[in-house]
Structure 1
Amino acid sequence: MTTAVAATAGTIPAVGQPAPDFELVNQYGEPVRLSSFAGQNVVVVFYPFAFSGICTGELCEIRDNIAAFEDANATVLAVSVDSKFSLRAYAAQEGYSFDLLADFWPHGAVASEYGVFDAETGMALRGTFIIDGEGIVRYSVVNPRGQARDLAEYKAALATLAQD
Structure 2
Amino acid sequence: MTEGYRLMVVEPGSVAPDFTLSDLDREQVSLGSLRRDNNVLLVFYPFAFSPLCQGEICQVRDELAGYRDEDVQVVGVSVDTPFSLKVWAEQQGITFPLLSDFWPHGAVAKTYGVFNDVGGMANRGTFLIDTEGIVRFAEIVSPRESRDQTKWKKAVAALRG
Tell me what 1:139 maps to: 137
- SS of 1:141's equivalent? strand
CA–CA distance in 1 between the matches of 2:8 and 2:2?
A: 11
CA–CA distance in 1 between the matches of 2:157 and 2:140?
A: 20
CA–CA distance in 2 between the matches of 1:97 and 1:157?
A: 22
Aligned identity (percent) is 47
Assess if the C-alpha contact under 8 Å between 2:122 and 2:143 holds in 1: no
* TM-score scaled by length of structure 1: 0.93
Shift of 1:7: 2.7
Q: 1:123 aligns with which of 118, 121, 124?
A: 121
CA–CA distance in 2 between the matches of 1:18 and 1:6?
A: 27
Assess if the C-alpha contact under 8 Å between 1:39 and 1:134 holds in 2: no
Assess if the C-alpha contact under 8 Å between 2:46 and 2:121 holds in 1: yes
**Which letter does structure 1 place at the counterpart of 2:21?**
L
CA–CA distance in 1 between the matches of 2:65 and 2:2?
A: 30
CA RMSD of aligned residues (A): 1.5
Tell me what 1:50 maps to: 48
Indicate how the Cα distance of structure 1 residues 46 and 106 shifts in structure 2: closer, same or farther if over 3 A, else same. Answer: same
CA–CA distance in 2 between the matches of 1:6 and 1:138?
A: 27
Tell me what 1:29 maps to: 26
Deviations 1:65-121 (A, max 9, x none): 001110110001100000000000000000000011000000000000000001111
- SS of 2:83's equivalent? helix
Tell me what 2:14 maps to: 17
**Which letter does structure 1 place at the counterpart of 2:10?**
P
Segments ≥4 residues shifted beyond 6 Å: none
Q: 1:108 aligns with which of 99, 106, 112?
A: 106
Shift of 1:8: 4.6
**Which letter does structure 1 place at the counterpart of 2:81?**
S
* TM-score scaled by length of structure 2: 0.94
CA–CA distance in 2 between the matches of 1:114 and 1:32?
A: 17
CA–CA distance in 1 between the matches of 2:58 and 2:9?
A: 25
- SS of 1:159's equivalent? helix
Shift of 1:144: 2.1
CA–CA distance in 1 between the matches of 2:29 and 2:100?
A: 10
- SS of 2:150's equivalent? helix
Shift of 1:147: 1.2
